[in-house]
Structure 1
Amino acid sequence: MIMNVMCACSFDMRFTFVMVGWEGTANDSRIFWETITNREESKFPMPPKRKYYLVDLGYTNMHGFLTPYRGERYHLRDYRGARNPQGPEEIFNYTHSSLPNVIERCFGVLKARFPILKDMPPYDLKRQKYIILSCCVVHNFIKMCKDGDPLFIHYADENVELDDDGIPTTGSEDQVTPSVSQRELRRMANFRDRLAKKLWERQTSQ
């Protein structure tokens, strides 16, 4: 049975949240919404106000979660050997893509170190869940305690070849509350537009 895994990570390639247990047929957006709206159970670390998780197009551009623009080039590989980003939306997508690339590299390290994750034996769902969680815990332990680990060094390169399938908070800061009201969605869309414009102005002034 295929299992769906939702993770968040920090920029130093440590997992900050791991949700396992959903069947692979479950929709990503459903898992995401269930996770952030049932935080007493999931323990999902919502970002402090004025900070954002960078998420892909499968999610909603909403308070605390920043997505790229649809219909524009996005993945870093789309820009390699091609023309530079053109306009605010493309420069925003290019910048956005260069940051969450770290989660793909994080999974690259995880799967390279633990081949069982690529070809999981037909264990029951509960055992598979604990195998995945254990691998993520060991991943973080090695990252924190072993300098010079060859896998982390290899995948630290932002241009490393990755498989196609593949921000801590503090108690002193107010956390955002999930909201998909039309007012909040418009506010986040305007925020993204302003950010894209600033990125483009900085790019064209160099």
Structure 2
Amino acid sequence: MDSDDEEIMAFLFLCWHWLLLVSTMNGGIRDLNSALTGHEYTQELLHGSSTQCLEMMRMSRDAYVLLCNHFNQRNWLQSSRSITFQEKMAMFFIVIGHNERMRMVKRRFQHSTETIHRCFHEVLNAMMNFAREVIVPTSSNPFAYASDRHRRLKQIFPGAIGALDGTLVHAVVPNDQQARYRGRGKDKYYLCDVAYTNTRGFMAPYRNTRYWLADFRRQRALTKEEKFNHAHTQLRNVIERAYGVLKARFPVLKQMAPYPFPIQRDIVIACFAIHNFIRKWNIHDQLFMEYDEETLFAGSQDEETHSQFVHDMEWGSHSMEEMAILRDEIATQLMSNN
């Protein structure tokens, strides 16, 4: 064997050794090697089982297609050279609909983490344009699309800004910034159950009086205290079901990932915008059908929420007396209207 042959053999040996080393380090398997590319997976969502689209996108295929086309027609979201706008939207929905991290989504769509991150933020920015369209009063009358009963309940409790249990959205806020997000506006209050004290900012029902919806099925409310409690639990039920369907569709609202706070805020806005879109366009939706049942919430208590708000309550006698007077005024008004 001459010197040239020896050099060739040495070179081939080094190449073989290098390939063996790389194969050992990577387990001999390419990192992103799913049988379906991201585009093929998106096509499967668009044209395959309707149940798969419902489970993965957290909405019906009709809603998903309509939403994608709406964004594309508004020029908010366009296809790039290798990723369609439908695929970008699918990535976004899997993040907010399953509270997945970018590294998990990249496995499903076979793109780098950087690409997934870029597409997610592209859709999120487009969602802010969308929110300006759908998170607005539907007319000069804010109750235009509310049922007569819901309209009456809101008028009875004009200062109500929510119900405590289950209606708060989780956020990751630095300790030195948390104070600015606490508290309520003047004359505003949360509806709460008897586990809370009836004091400024917290409207509780009358104790030792019928309260839950099931309590009034056999006999209507008779006293002013019962009428108040019945109206109170009806409005709480509406609020809790509204937030319940939101959190069922978007688990990210129950346990937000530690994104920068402006991103957390925009994710919440995007979830509300999609919620309004499905409701406003009257798209057949399984989750809305489930949460339209009044009996779905029979009364529950979130221990973390309870602890937080007990800490924020005003315990002074003046604050408690002020809320007791307001509660009696509402109860008297309800009694005189019937």
Task: Specify if TM > 0.5.
Answer: yes
Tell whether the 8 Å contact from 2:162 to 2:190 is kept in structure 1 after alignment.
no
More helix by share: 2
Higher relative contact order (CA 8 A, sep 6+): 1
Tell whether the 8 Å contact from 2:210 to 2:226 is kept in structure 1 after alignment.
yes
More strand by share: 1
* Paired AA for residue 272 in structure 2: N
Q: CA deviation at 1:91?
A: 0.3
* Cα distance in 2 for residues equivalent to 1:186 and 1:164: 26
5+ residue gaps in structure 1?
Answer: 1-7, 22-37, 119-127, 167-176
Tell me what 1:194 maps to.
329
Larger Cα-atom Rg = 2
Tell me what 1:180 maps to.
315
5+ residue gaps in structure 2?
Answer: 1-159, 259-263, 302-311
Between the aligned residues of both structures, percent identity stands at: 35
Tell me what 2:169 maps to.
18
- How many equivalent pairs are there? 154
TM score, norm. by length of structure 2 = 0.37
Q: In structure 2, which of residues 244, 247, 254 is the aligned counterpart of residue 108 of structure 1? A: 244
Q: In structure 2, which of residues 197, 201, 207 is the aligned counterpart of residue 70 of structure 1? A: 207
Q: CA deviation at 1:140?
A: 1.6
Tell me what 2:198 maps to.
61
The 1:44–1:57 alpha-carbon spacing in structure 2 relative to 1, beyond 3 Å, is farther
2:257 paired with 1:130: yes
The 1:183–1:10 alpha-carbon spacing in structure 2 relative to 1, beyond 3 Å, is closer
Tell me what 1:141 maps to.
273
Q: CA deviation at 1:104?
A: 2.5
Tell whether the 8 Å contact from 2:224 to 2:331 is kept in structure 1 after alignment.
yes
The 1:161–1:185 alpha-carbon spacing in structure 2 relative to 1, beyond 3 Å, is closer
Q: CA deviation at 1:97?
A: 0.7
TM score, norm. by length of structure 1 = 0.57
Tell whether the 8 Å contact from 2:245 to 2:291 is kept in structure 1 after alignment.
no
Tell whether the 8 Å contact from 2:191 to 2:236 is kept in structure 1 after alignment.
yes
The 1:165–1:110 alpha-carbon spacing in structure 2 relative to 1, beyond 3 Å, is farther
The 1:180–1:10 alpha-carbon spacing in structure 2 relative to 1, beyond 3 Å, is closer
Q: CA deviation at 1:101?
A: 0.8
* Cα distance in 1 for residues equivalent to 2:239 and 2:176: 22
The 1:117–1:48 alpha-carbon spacing in structure 2 relative to 1, beyond 3 Å, is closer
* Paired AA for residue 68 in structure 1: P
